[in-house]
Structure 1
Amino acid sequence: MLYGRASLSNKVKNPLIQPILNEKALFRDMVQYSTDASPSQQCASADSIHHYFTANQPSLFVPCQRYDRYSFCQEYYLFQFNASSSTCQRFVRQPCRPHRLLSSIDIRGGLYRGVTLTFMLSLNRMNRFPYILQRWHGPISVAFFVTEREVPALAEKIAAVPRQNVVYSVYVRRNTTIQNTPWHKLPSGLKRYFPKGVFPINLLRDLTIESISTSHYLVIDVDIFLSERIYDRINSYGHWLQDERLILLLPLFGYRSNRTTSLNSKSLQSTPAPFLMNPAAFRCYEKDDCKEAWEHIPRDKKTLKKGVSRGDFAAVTRYHYVINPAIWMGFSVSVPMRGVVTENMEPYAVVRRSPRNPIFHPFFFDYGGDKMSFFVYLRSMKRYTSFVMPIDFGFNIPHKQTAVSTQFRKQKKTHPMSVFYHYMKYTLYDSLHIRTH
């Protein structure tokens, strides 16, 4: 058992399926981490970060190791920059702080030991970073995806960040040639090639999770801005979070659109178009002119409620219906509320990092099923209780849609990530006798 965890792969007896379900073993093979941080050096400037990478590329190189169905191959380099110690080093997986001591690599002690914000991004979304820093005052573990050509620019950006409690895991995609073109292995065994590469979305999430030194992490996407005092309030729920089976869910809001829900709607269904979208949000969606829209995103529940009353903001319920939004808006007590995670949901949440808890399945890339698959694992284990943060929230910022998300929506039934997600889900549910809706 990897990390001493009773993996789902041990509960599914089919030997053809077991390897695909053990996401921690897959992560280990795809990252090839060790407990040795060398080569390491002090990195006090952007130049020293860039020099570390160029001088140590052979040691930082990660070749492909997995060739299963549904896997993908993309050669890359991997290193970390720890801003608190100004150190560049190889990626090192941090020990867990589990509820119970399950293996020799774990740290003894099951109390709540703080929470780290985790997310990943590419260089073209760095403009979100200052807003996230303004609203989150605790430790951060972030993964960057860049090309070899972008490393100098990334070094400049992260060296200029005015925060020390940040760990950066940097995934550098190796320059693509005919010999090393990234590919994805289809269920048939055939390979689909990606000359422009793939975005290893869940591998990046796992890099952030396995880099934390706290007991818990809050997983978000870089397009989510948080309420301003969320870090302090999560810490105030420490006695709740001592139970590793408790998941603390984040209600999600956004500028009103046909993807959000009007709280004035009796049926709480999608708001019917046409409607008048906030002009600043419209400019952001259509022209990528986002500063005004981002500056006016609410920082607290009181401001959020005013925006909802005006019709500017609304609850995001598609894939994020963790609680009835109208009930949440009227709730004034600072005690977590009972929530729910149903099938095909992908909420943002505070989760304990534990040998007994899953990480994100690293075979997912680009877009589709990546977060949902994590909650399929949680549902399959039948051991988790969900609560909702009563005061704090996330806000889905307006932004232009990516090409990969657009492609996924056009090919939703046949897209490789959708196929893998449904294969995973129904394999688990059938094997563990879980009823589906």
Structure 2
Amino acid sequence: MYSFYPADQVKPDIAWIPNHHYSGIFGLMKLTLPKLLPKDMEKVIVLDTDVTFSTDIAELWKIFRILKDKQNMIGLVENQSDWYLGKLWKNHRPWPALGRGFNTGVILLDLKALREIGWMQMWKLIAEKELMTMLATSLADQDIFNAVIKQHPYLVLKLPCQWNVQLSDNTRSEHCYSEVSDLKIIHWNSPRKMKVKNKHVEFFRNMYLTFLEYDGNLLRRELFGCGTTGSSSQVEEQINAINEDDECYDFRRERVIVHRTHLYYLDYNYTPSDDDVTLVAQLSMDRVQMLELICQHWEGPISIALYISDAEAQQFLRYALGSDTLMARKNVGYHVVYKDGQFFPVNYLRNVALNQVRTPYVYLSDIDFLPMFGLYEYLKKAAPMMDLKEQKKALIVPAFETQRYRLTYPKSKSELLSMLHMGSLFTFRFHVWPQGHSPTNFDKWRTATTPYTVNWEADFEPYVVVRSDIPKYDQRFMGFGWNKVSHIMELDAQGYEFVVLPNAFMIHMPHAPSFDIAKFRSSSLYRRCLKSLKGEFQRDLSKKYGIKALKYLSVE
């Protein structure tokens, strides 16, 4: 359970304070908590984001019993560095503090008592006075908390230092404990993190790396007991209903997994137009480098599902924040789906991305394709012209491929045709899976100047532009094989007309084979189970759509 509180309403309370700490204005927000948090919230534990618990937080909550009305309203651990002693370097002049001062990485706040004594007015008056000589804070809120405690020592309850063992330069944290088993909270409060000197440095390094790599799926299941009520119990029922002796048990089980998902992992701010088109795709971490290229080729909105681990999510965040191209775009929705299971849930990911689309039309693509320059504007005109809003049509964007890692991307259809003639481009999967795209009729496309209709054929899997309210992808197909074929088959069953766009194209960029393709090629069990899933899907389709779907039963 979590709640968000808008910072804007308290920014004026702290914006006037110059802060030299890298946290900026947000490093002063703790000062405003008695005002910001709901009036019926009387007590709160405040934690920095760089702390690791080695015990149950309920133990820390029990300390509130010691806090007394009208005194000891703030619980803090003494600062373990020499900062507030003013002895670190020549002319070092810290803010005033009581003794060594206190660290605000872990705070117990009696909100009710602080409101009653006029906390907001109290700290502001003291901060104004100190800023006349100090000019700015160096440690953000910590300087002001310590200045207030210096004048009003009765406010603070000194907590045992095991509740905030501070790993930073010039600390005395080793005096806090005799054995590492005594530790309660480890505070990694230094940019140098694990490089600080400490006799237990290997213990802390291992703890840090273990937690960094900790799978959130284990956290939710084992540590917090999530997945025992509500929809999770339905998932358990579905799993229990699967025959464990079925050789395809693993495939069937993963179909019903509900993955942890973080929608809009990065900032998103976009208002679509009436004829807008969103590019929909999915990827794993080994394809993340394609994002910048796609953003250069497609200026419209994008909905992307990323299948990554907890540690990879942090890697992706660093990658994105370091990319001027990605940071310049606010119309890309990044939706993180955390890894769980042994197969790549490709259709699950596509559905996550599809569910977040806010435009009337979608361009269903893959992350390893680069759309032609100008395709976004072309499709925005083509969709209303082809009356997609009223008619069941799927506009096909013809797909090509190159086997060259360095490609001068064609600026027009004529340039692409020239490259086809020269052998630097091919129709997609021409050498290994021609049936997937041959119904597009590339021979006709070469000379076409107007859209033309093609018929569905077995194994057809074109990339299409359709209304965003289309059927979702069938999630029984994961990894390699039939994930797009089944979707196009259902569109055909619903009566969609397939129309090829004469002046649109996309090009597949080369990359190493995926892990799932390798499993498909090397595992006879994988291939047998895929065949079983195909048969089940075809039978389900015939039940759903009746006699017009009987033709799919003969498809191999």
| TM-score, shorter chain, exceeding 0.5 | yes
Determine the structure 2 residue equivalent to 1:323: 440
Q: Kindly tell me: are residues 425 and 83 of structure 1, through their superposed partners in 2, closer, same or farther at Cα, counting changes over 3 Å?
A: same
**Is 2:343 the counterpart of 1:198?**
yes
1:85 shift after superposition: 4.2
Q: Distance in 1 between matches of 2:519 and 2:539?
A: 24
Q: Distance in 2 between matches of 1:137 and 1:338?
A: 28
Assess if the C-alpha contact under 8 Å between 1:376 and 1:425 holds in 2.
no
Q: Distance in 2 between matches of 1:418 and 1:129?
A: 33
Determine the structure 2 residue equivalent to 1:164: 330
**Is 2:189 the counterpart of 1:77?**
no
* Worse overlay, 202-211 or 318-327: 318-327
- Within 5 Å, which residues of 2 pair with 1:201-220? 201-220=346-365
- Within 5 Å, which residues of 2 pair with 1:244-323? 244-255=391-402, 281=404, 290=405, 292=406, 295-316=407-428, 317-323=434-440
Larger radius of gyration: 2
Q: Kindly tell me: are residues 427 and 231 of structure 1, through their superposed partners in 2, closer, same or farther at Cα, counting changes over 3 Å?
A: same
Assess if the C-alpha contact under 8 Å between 1:82 and 1:166 holds in 2.
no
Q: 2:468 aligns with which of 353, 357, 370?
A: 353
Q: Distance in 2 between matches of 1:131 and 1:41?
A: 36
1:228 shift after superposition: 0.8
Assess if the C-alpha contact under 8 Å between 2:265 and 2:336 holds in 1.
no
Assess if the C-alpha contact under 8 Å between 1:128 and 1:222 holds in 2.
yes
Q: 1:340 aligns with which of 455, 463, 480?
A: 455
Q: Distance in 1 between matches of 2:304 and 2:522?
A: 30
Corresponding residue SS for 1:318: helix
Dislocated runs of 4+, deviation >4 Å: 37-43, 51-59, 61-64, 82-87, 410-413
**Is 2:538 the counterpart of 1:392?**
no
Assess if the C-alpha contact under 8 Å between 2:268 and 2:331 holds in 1.
no
1:297 shift after superposition: 3.6
Assess if the C-alpha contact under 8 Å between 1:253 and 1:395 holds in 2.
yes
Assess if the C-alpha contact under 8 Å between 2:313 and 2:336 holds in 1.
no
Q: 2:306 aligns with which of 136, 141, 144?
A: 144
1:328 shift after superposition: 0.5
* TM score, norm. by length of structure 2: 0.51
Assess if the C-alpha contact under 8 Å between 2:277 and 2:359 holds in 1.
yes
Determine the structure 1 residue equivalent to 2:517: 405
Extract unaligned runs of 5+ from structure 2.
8-25, 27-48, 51-211, 243-251, 429-433
Q: Kindly tell me: are residues 151 and 310 of structure 1, through their superposed partners in 2, closer, same or farther at Cα, counting changes over 3 Å?
A: same
Q: What are the Cα deviations for residues 153-204 of structure 1, in whole angstroms up to 9, with x where unaligned? A: 1111233313110111111125xxxxxxx4xxxxxxxxxxxxxx32111110
Extract unaligned runs of 5+ from structure 1.
1-36, 88-96, 98-110, 175-181, 183-196, 256-277, 282-289
Q: Distance in 2 between matches of 1:40 and 1:320?
A: 48
Q: More relative contact order in 1 or in 2 (CA 8 Å, sep 6+)? A: 1
Q: 1:124 aligns with which of 286, 292, 309?
A: 286
* TM score, norm. by length of structure 1: 0.63
> What percentage of aligned pairs have identical amino acids?
20
Assess if the C-alpha contact under 8 Å between 1:83 and 1:163 holds in 2.
no
Q: RMSD in angstroms over aligned alpha carbons?
A: 3.6
1:86 shift after superposition: 7.1
Assess if the C-alpha contact under 8 Å between 1:74 and 1:173 holds in 2.
no
Higher helix residue share: 2
Q: Distance in 2 between matches of 1:324 and 1:403?
A: 31
Assess if the C-alpha contact under 8 Å between 1:112 and 1:242 holds in 2.
no
